[in-house]
A and B are shown apart, each in its own frame.
Chain A
Amino acid sequence: MSLYRFLAEGIFFGFIVLIVFGGLLTVRARLLMHAVLGLAVAFIGVAGLFFHLGSPFMAMMQVLIYVGAVCVMLIFGIMVGQSPSQTDQLRIKGSNALLASVTCVAGFVLLTATLIRSRWHTATEQIGDFTMQHLGTSFLHQFVLAFELISVVLLIAILGAIIIARNPEKGSAS
């Protein structure tokens, strides 16, 4: 194995470790802030995987949108809530614990079954065109309806947020 190949494999496993670490942090953290930051770490790991697979554009978008926008919005939402000295206790008790474990096991079994049953093809060479030109034309020609529908969903989300945030009592000065 050549040195570059070895380095590339090492970096690949480095990103895998980053994703797993971020995911564990997300579910295990006792502070909501730590959980969101774990999510950010996992997103960066996923961006690294995109980069490793030869699609730097997707990697950049992953960082720009998921880390730079989604995580920032999440933190913005929770930063006024808890201060660093208040940690949450584990509050899953009784029948909830049973339901939670059943759900977890079911999800695990479903995913594992799919993973085992599917056949994994090894790509010998790059099979598709993942350049920006190709992405742009497929968004605006082949998948234009889905693309526009997503923007409508976003618009509705923003409208909903405005309606919720507005003072329900009309006339009262806020």
Chain B
Amino acid sequence: MTFLPPELLRILVTVVCAIVIVFGNAVVMGYLERKFAGRFQRRPGPMEVGFHGILQLAVDGVKLVGKQLVIPRHADPVLYRIAPIISFAPSIMPMLVIPFSPKLQGRDFDVGLIFILAVVSLNVLAILIAGWSSNNKYSLLGAMRSVAQNVAYEIPMLLTLMSVILVTGTFSLRGIVEAQTNGIWFVFIMPVAFIIFFAATLAETNRAPFDLPEAESELTAGFMTEFSGMGFSLFFMAEYTYMFIACSLTVILFLGGWQGPPLPFAEYSSALWFFLKVYVLLILMIWIRWTFPRVRFDQLLNFCWKYLVPFALVHLMITAVVLKL
């Protein structure tokens, strides 16, 4: 009597939930960012729409949907239109493999970690297409900076990942969380790896102090200078989603995933701990953005190649030696 075969129904529910998480996160992050930005600058932030400006994002959403999409005269019209989609669409996919709690996971994938890294790497392509197709010098410069930065910071990120993988012996995200039972989270065993990974994710998600691809005081808005309306907001939502994914990965790899003090119905409700940890990290990202000045481009690359990469390499070697002893 079933309306759909159970597996198809499961896929449908998972995909709908993933999309809900993406949009919900974009709304929450948009509000948090503006509120915290206001507080750090000693002003209240949005206050007018709803209680303490809580409906501001809904109003902004309507405004962005209603805006005209302007295509620059000498731009490439097809690529200009699909660039925001290429940026946004892959950001939904990692939600399918992230374990929010022991039972709340779309699919426990053997190579879940690599799946996320592979899908997220499409974002660089989208930024390049956006920068090139707008036919604007600021966009082009922003896109080129973005690639140099992403390629450089991927190396320390993957090296620290390898340290964790050496300990757990699995790429399955659930397996990595289950390896950190009894409060022995990897952040206590390898704090250096945690710091390197977090710094690298800041650069990978183009967040301050590494937000050179969209440095507003030098490049107006970098690769998204020419985008308006939904084109712009798709990039915006994609950025918030990639931040969420980066923080989820940090929580899974170093902060014990869903683990925390016991709750009733822990198989489902322990997702609370997961989201709590993720949002603490996201607020930390916002805090860093509104506190530190932007680095120069040579400082950015020097920091990566002269500090992060050697430290990550040494860390990987020490982990391997300790495991072999």
Contact = CB atoms under 8 A, between A and B. Distances in A.
Given A4-B7, A64-B121, A80 B110 contact: no
Contact of B75 (A61, A63, A76, A84): A84
Interface string B143-168: 11001000100000000000000000
B144 A79 contact: yes
Contacts, number: 82
B132 A75 contact: yes
Contacts of A71: 125
B103 to A, nearest CB: 22
Given A33-B76, A56-B111, A57-B111, A64 B117 contact: yes
Interface in B106-123: 109-111, 114-115, 117-119, 121-122
Interface string A99-130: 00000000000000000000000000000000
A69 interface: yes
A129 to B, nearest CB: 14
Given A68-B121, A68-B122, A72-B128, A60 B135 contact: no
Nearest to A31: B76
A42 interface: no
A79 B131 contact: yes
B5 interface: yes
Contact of B128 (A64, A79, A83): A79
A56 B171 contact: no
A77 to B, nearest CB: 11
Contact of A60 (B75, B118, B140): B118
Interface residues of A, number: 26
Nearest to B148: A76
B115 A76 contact: no
A85 B80 CA distance: 13
Given A56-B109, A56-B110, A60-B115, A37 B129 contact: yes
Contact of A37 (B79, B111, B135, B144): B79
B171 to A, nearest CB: 7
A49 interface: no
Contact of B5 (A3, A56, A83): A3
B114 A60 contact: yes
Contacts of B118: 60-61, 63-64, 68
Interface of A is mostly: helix
B46 to A, nearest CB: 37
Q: Max chain B CB contacts within 10 Å: which of A56, A67, A72?
A: A72
A63 B125 CA distance: 12
A76 B147 contact: yes
B179 interface: no
A67 B114 contact: no
B133 interface: yes
A40 B82 CA distance: 14
B18 to A, nearest CB: 18
Contact of B135 (A31, A63, A84): A84
Contact of B121 (A34, A57, A69): A69
Given A76-B147, A84-B75, A84-B132, A132 B121 contact: no
Contacts of B124: 68, 72
Contact of A33 (B8, B79, B111, B151): B79
Interface string A25-69: 000000101100100100000000000000011001101100111
Given A37-B129, A56-B109, A60-B114, A83 B135 contact: yes
Contacts of A3: 5, 8
Contacts of B43: none
A1 to B, nearest CB: 14
A40 B119 CA distance: 13
The 7 tightest CB contacts between A and B, nearest first, are: A68-B121, A84-B76, A64-B118, A63-B118, A85-B74, A60-B114, A60-B118
Interface of A: 3-4, 31, 33-34, 37, 40, 56-57, 60-61, 63-64, 67-69, 71-72, 75-76, 79-80, 83-85, 132
Given A67-B125, A72-B128, A84-B79, 16 more contacts: A34-B79, A56-B115, A57-B110, A64-B118, A67-B122, A68-B124, A69-B151, A71-B125, A75-B125, A76-B128, A76-B144, A79-B128, A79-B140, A80-B140, A83-B74, A132-B171
